[in-house]
Amino acid sequence: MKSILFLQNIGIWEILIIALVVLLIFGGKKIPELMRGLGKGVKEFKDGIKGVEDEINSADKPDTPKE
């Protein structure tokens, strides 16, 4: 819980400084590529979670007899 407490004191100037440092390190052309990769990673993670939830839900339901 203590690791989250420091986020309460971050103001607009700190956020702008962090954004400026990221821009200087990666450059303007590289940031969209990084964000695209991050978005794909989040999408794959959500798809993986949904797949696990579907497997759990299908295991809980009894199989219907085939005629």
For residue 37, what are its two tokens?
């990769």
Q: Does a structural domain hold residue 66?
A: no
Average pLDDT score over the chain: 82
- pTM (whole model) above 0.75: no
Tokens of 6: 């420091």
Judged against a pLDDT cut of 60, whether residue 42 lies above it is answered with yes
User: Higher-confidence residue: 7 or 49?
Assistant: 49
CATH code, 8? 1.20.5
Number of domains in the chain: 1
Q: How far apart are the first and last CA of the chain?
A: 56
Q: How confident is the model at residue 46 (pLDDT cuts 50, 70, 90)?
A: very high
**What is the domain range of residue 18?**
2-59
